[in-house]
Amino acid sequence: MTSARPKAVCVDHDWVGRSDCSRCAVLHIVPFAPLPLTDLEEFLGPVTNFQLARGARLLGPESHANAVITLRSGFVKLFETAPSGRERIVRLLGPGDVVGLEALHAPPYLHAAESLTPVDACHLPIPVVHAIEARMPELHASMLARWHRSLEQADRFLVELLDGPAPTRVARLLLMLVELAGDSAPPRLTRLDTASAVDIAPETASRVLTRFIGDGILVEERDSFRIDREALRTIARS
């Protein structure tokens, strides 16, 4: 209480926005954990919270892969540059997701990560994760689930987003984005990001989207968008 060292963010009940910790992919278990608080403090001290603007780089293959990042709010794209030089988006992450999972097994990070919206996130050094894992086996299962989800999403990109004509792909992407967002507002991607997610030319993305807008199926806002779910689902089915 009178300690000079500041409280670990995760444990500080006075911390503004602590409520979002319930979404923390790694530590959502902690509040219910049977560990004495003082122990937790020691573990969680190195965990730091930070915010980023849209378009910021979270990490890349060049960074030291010694931490994972959990998203409290905001959206992130994981991408690689293909041999052709084109940028290819391979995954999309949202609130509650973990960025840089691979680091948990071995460096380097497999992709680059950039924010698609303003982002609120926490930085967890790998040793912290392992320390918690050692004491709380539940975390292990939770991490396995993360790997599972990552694979599932990679496969969805392969099977859903890269299948069929351009309008179909874009429709599926939009649906995927609102699904990812849950109750929060889905992020509006640039035409270029849209294009590199579904592997079409930016110009084609533009044409498809302006057509959707013209048909009243899609409404774009500054940073988000709204859709006619049913109409898009029909297009997505083709």
Partner DNA sequence: CGAACGTTTGAACGATGTCAAGCGGGGTGG
Partner DNA sequence: CCACCCCGCTTGACATCGTTCAAACGTTCG
Q: Which residues of 6-17 are buried (b: 16+ CB within 10 A; e: fewer)?
A: ebbbbbeeeeee
DSSP state of 158: I
Binding at 19: pick from DNA, its own copies, none (beta carbon under 5-8 Å per type): none
Which CB, 71 or 161, lies closer to its own copies? Answer: 161
Which CB, 117 or 153, lies closer to its own copies? Answer: 153
Binding at 201: pick from its own copies, DNA, none (beta carbon under 5-8 Å per type): DNA
Rounded CA separation 38/28 (Å): 18
- 209 binding DNA? (CB under 7 A): yes
Number of residues in contact with DNA under rule CB under 7 A: 16
Least distance (Å) between residue 148 CB and its own copies: 5
Which CB, 146 or 207, lies closer to DNA? Answer: 207
Least distance (Å) between residue 207 CB and its own copies: 21
Rounded CA separation 120/225 (Å): 21
Least distance (Å) between residue 111 CB and its own copies: 7
- 190 binding DNA? (CB under 7 A): yes
Least distance (Å) between residue 116 CB and DNA: 11
Least distance (Å) between residue 208 CB and DNA: 8
**Is residue 130 within a helix (H) or strand (E), and if so which, with residue range?**
helix 126-135
Decide: helix, strand or coil at residue 56: coil
Tokens 């109409």 identify what position?
231
Least distance (Å) between residue 140 CB and DNA: 41
Binding segment toward DNA, per CB under 7 A, in 15-23, 58-66, 112-120, 189-197: 189-197
Q: Which residues of 126-150 are buried (b: 16+ CB within 10 A; e: fewer)?
A: bebbebbbeebeebeebbeebeebb
- Distances in Å between the alpha carbon of 151 and those of 52, 163, 193, 200? 27, 18, 21, 23
Binding at 200: pick from its own copies, DNA, none (beta carbon under 5-8 Å per type): DNA
Binding segment toward DNA, per CB under 7 A, in 19-27, 92-100, 171-179, 185-193: 185-193
* Residue count of the chain: 238
Helix crossing, 191-198 with 202-214: angle to 10°?
110
Which CB, 10 or 90, lies closer to DNA? Answer: 90
List of residues contacting DNA (CB under 7 A): 165-167, 190-192, 199-204, 206-207, 209-210
